[in-house]
Amino acid sequence: MENKMNIAYQGTPGSYSEQLLKTIFPDSLYQPCETFSSLIDFASKSGNFGLLPVENSIAGTVNEAYEELIESELSIFGEYIKKIKHSLIALPESSLELISNVISHPQALQQCSKYLRKNNFKITPVFDTAGSVYEVLRTNDNTTAAIAGEHFDSDDRFKILEKNISNDSENFTRFLFIGLEPPNLSLINNKFSSVL
């Protein structure tokens, strides 16, 4: 069997972290984690790694992620910066006029706070941007929308009501590639510090 890196990320499939992993480590195995703590636990096992979001150009430091990293024995082996493009996503039958509640990760809600205030939406934090989209699907609620990546426009179970809703179009998140031991360089086909 081909040797592949096992890399944890916070969120569910479709999250910004997973999208970044697919770009920088396309031939790896990905492990979604609901919390930063579970990501750190996974990356703390020999041979495993993690991709941890630690800072955003709008919302600032992701304190919980930093705290978990500092308390661990993990090392940083790479840094990546990803441009974040938030969209308002709902069910196909919904419309902007029907939306009264918006759900997403607290960082995404903060990064889109001006848009949310302008529209007077009620906000509900959840653990993940991509997870918020699947929560809208699970509840089948036409009055609730999610904030997540525009890559969901290729899924016909959802409709993007508005794109680029961040407070600033220059919205970037810094991610750290972490682990106990350095990765096997033969499994890596990219630079260890890049902007995507």
**This prediction's pTM:** 0.87
Q: Please determine, for residue 185, whether its predicted confidence score (pLDDT) is greater than 70.
A: no
Residues 194 and 196: their CA atoms lie apart, in Å, by 6
For the chain, domain boundaries: 6-83+172-195, 86-163
Taking the CB of residue 118, how many other CB atoms lie within 10 A of it? Answer: 9
**Out of 86-100, 111-125, 161-175, 176-190, which region has the weakest mean confidence (pLDDT)?**
176-190
Is the confidence at residue 196, as pLDDT, over 90?
no
Q: How confident is the model at residue 1 (pLDDT cuts 50, 70, 90)?
A: very low
Q: Which of 187, 195, 189 is nearest to 49 (CA)?
A: 187
Q: What is the pLDDT of residues 135-174, one digit of tens each?
A: 999 999 999 999 999 999 889 999 999 999 999 999 999 9
| Fold of the domain built from segment(s) 86-163 | D-Maltodextrin-Binding Protein; domain 2 (3.40.190)
Proportion of the chain in helix, strand, coil states, percent, rounded to 5: 30, 35, 35
Take residue 46 and report the two structure tokens written for it.
Answer: 């020999």
**CATH architecture label of 6-83+172-195:** 3-Layer(aba) Sandwich (3.40)
